[in-house]
Amino acid sequence: MKPVPDAKPRPLEVALLASVFVVAACGLIYELAAGAVASYLLGDSILQFSTVIGAYLFAMGLGSYFSRFFERQLPAHFLRIELLVALFGGGLPALLFLANGYLPGAFRFLLYAMVLIVGILVGLEIPLVMRILRRNVAFKDLVSQVLTFDYLGALAVSVAFPLLLVPQLGLIRTGLLFGLMNAAVALWALWLFRFELRRFKAHAAACALTLLALGAAFSAADHITTLAEDKFYQDRVVFTSDSQYQRIVVTQGKAGHRLFLNGNLQFAERDEYRYHEALVHPAMAAHGAVKRVAVLGGGDGMAVREVLKYPGVESVTLVELDPAMTRLFSQQPALVALNGGALNSPKVKIVNTDAFKWLEQGSDVFDIIIVDFPDPTNFSIGKLYSNSFYGLLDQRLSASGYAVIQTTSPLVARQSFWTVVQTIESTGLQTAPYHAHVPSFGEWGYVIASRRPWRQPTALPPGLRFLDLKSLPLLFDFPLDMARVLAEVNRLSNQVLVTTYEAEWGRVSHP
């Protein structure tokens, strides 16, 4: 009788299958990191992730094809490829951030060059592992086992990347950590195949140098980040955070503190009072008897600061998706000073959730709702400028209430501005569009939405630095180059605003 093969897995087989798990995890991390960096720095997260993933998968296909040309010394080839993946993949976020600071014109080329290089190398890994395992494992078992471990590794990091790795380590350290894991797989392969490898000492030296380089970069990750971002933002970076939603950067320079989300300026200390006074007071002062206020977005607390200038306000609900933002602006002393400690007021309730869901699931109504979202640079933000969103907003507004929405520049993005106005009006709400000059942004637009006409207030809170009753009506006058144009309604099904916005802002440098 033919002997029954031992069903117990051999140590070599277990080691290689464990390597498949690590390799799959690392490969997906590099893909996600490239997409995240691209969306941070280029905007439009859906477009960036789609093109990066497409290029990466194409490159992996090329790598799989090229693996057929590796015929001898497969363990040696696998080891070298692991070291190259460790260096190129692990260093990808750091190199891209540095390129954005020092070679901004070459960033897009370098992004896709790195994606193609890493993708080809990752595409080579699994076929080589399968050919090495084929020596000891039946083909039907080989395919199922390798693919199982491959998919398990991908599942693990797809969950850990946004929820744990990026918030805790940041993109640069996350990339370098998984680069070290790839290098560890190479070191493991060095030990497993030590009797097969030619030039063992050279391979050992390569492993040691790769681990040393990645380890040094990991320990210097903060310095690398500062080096890249100080150059990009011009001013000294005093705080950075990679939350699961965005890249938060606070700088300090001659203009004071500035806040950037995903590379886009949100406020500058020297003139933010213009933006926030214009956002809050035309609606608040016109109402006359505000008790309950909701602020959607605005996690920096500046809008809340202006709201609290009305003594009659009894409660303010701040709905901010990113807890990292509200934590930062309620705990960092320099930033707490900017918003006057508004987020720590007993009148303020902070809710960290998606504003769309909050409107859908709640039933409370408010006298004033202030909508202070970032501009619609991608489809996830664009939904917050849709007619579906404004319909929900209408349901949460009291009969005499006002909502006010920040609405990009009517000068630079004229079509986009009037698209928002048209979208609000499509829900049956009346609108009162207006604009104000904020030096850091240029001419900036807002829209008051309500069921009753907006009326000129008779009083404003004391101590304002920008608005007064005499100049307030001028904000509602639009010169010819900002006058209303025909525009479509921004719906969830078409998201026309996002493409219009990108086309208009693409002609100029975004603030």
* Residues with catalytic function: 372
Give the contacts of 4 (CB within 8 A, at least 6 positions apart): none
Structure token digits, residue 221: 């990750």
Q: Which amino acid is at 504?
A: E
Are 307 and 370 in contact, with CB atoms under 8 Å apart? yes
Are 286 and 456 in contact, with CB atoms under 8 Å apart? yes
What 8-state DSSP symbol labels residue 364? -
Structure token digits, residue 21: 């798990």
Q: Nearest to residue 282, comparing CAs of 402, 195, 140, 137?
A: 402
Give the contacts of 117 (CB within 8 A, at least 6 positions apart): 59, 88
Q: Nearest to residue 278, comparing CAs of 388, 410, 453?
A: 410
- The alpha carbon of 455 is separated from its chain's Cα centroid by a whole number of angstroms, namely 39
Q: Nearest to residue 275, comparing CAs of 439, 40, 454?
A: 439
Give the contacts of 69 (CB within 8 A, at least 6 positions apart): none
What 8-state DSSP symbol labels residue 161? I
